[in-house]
Homo-oligomer: A and B are copies of this chain.
Amino acid sequence: MKRKIGFVYECLLAGLIIFSLSAELPEREDYVLGWFIWGLFAVDYVIRLMLSKNKWGFVKNHPIELLALIPVDQLFRTLRLIRLIRLVRLILVVKRNNSLLDLLIEKYRFDKLFITVIALLFLTAIPMAWIEPSFDSYGDALWWTVVTTTTVGYGDLYPETTVGRLIASVLMFVGIGLIGVVTGTVASLFSNKKTDLPDQLKYVRDK
């Protein structure tokens, strides 16, 4: 099962690389996206630094990551290839946090939930983009599935066809189920002995 999730990740990351290199984002959005990915990377680096026992050893053992912290892409943001730096960062963050993810998967069987929700978001967007007249693109439909599954429901986009509403209803109840699973997991984390958590973090820390 771990391999399958690994595969899903590879696909998502490959998709991100293609999207990142081909997308024609407006300058401001591109700039924000760059800092956003840099922020994710920096937070990941700082958290791992704080969790490690030998802080100086951690800095010495991860020289490339320290280098990657320099926001070089913000300086030359017209260069398209510079975007690859962002992706390398993003991949590093995701790879690192796999250890936390593996923990969630092993202990709480999040694997099927995770794949199901991701798949539902991306798959249901396909027919919705096709049958709904107000959904102009696949990106629109994907945005709508996220807004619906999280039960936020801005109302900027909503289905108007009968079949679209049927699919939307399924997504909404999936959303309630999602909240239930997240809440249930957190609740069982809280009700368990508190001393377990640091032990579990050790597992993350060692990587």
Contacts and interface: CB of A to CB of B under 8 A. Distances in A.
Interface of A: 23, 25-26, 28-30, 32-33, 35-36, 108-109, 127, 130-131, 139, 143, 146-148, 150-156, 158, 160-167, 169, 172-173, 175-191, 194, 197
A158 to B, nearest CB: 4
Contacts of A152: 148, 151-153, 172, 175
B184 A25 contact: no
Contact of A191 (B29, B167, B187): B187
Given A109-B197, A156-B158, 8 more contacts: A23-B162, A29-B131, A33-B166, A36-B167, A179-B183, A180-B185, A184-B186, A184-B187
B127 A163 contact: no
Secondary structure class of chain A's binding surface, majority of residues: helix
Contacts of A182: 176-177, 179-180
B163 A32 contact: yes
30 contacts: A26-B131, A28-B130, A29-B164, A32-B127, A32-B167, A36-B127, A36-B167, A109-B194, A139-B165, A143-B165, A143-B169, A147-B153, A147-B172, A148-B152, A150-B151, A150-B172, A150-B176, A152-B152, A152-B153, A153-B154, A154-B155, A156-B160, A176-B182, A177-B182, A179-B182, A180-B183, A180-B186, A183-B183, A183-B187, A187-B191
A181 B158 CA distance: 27
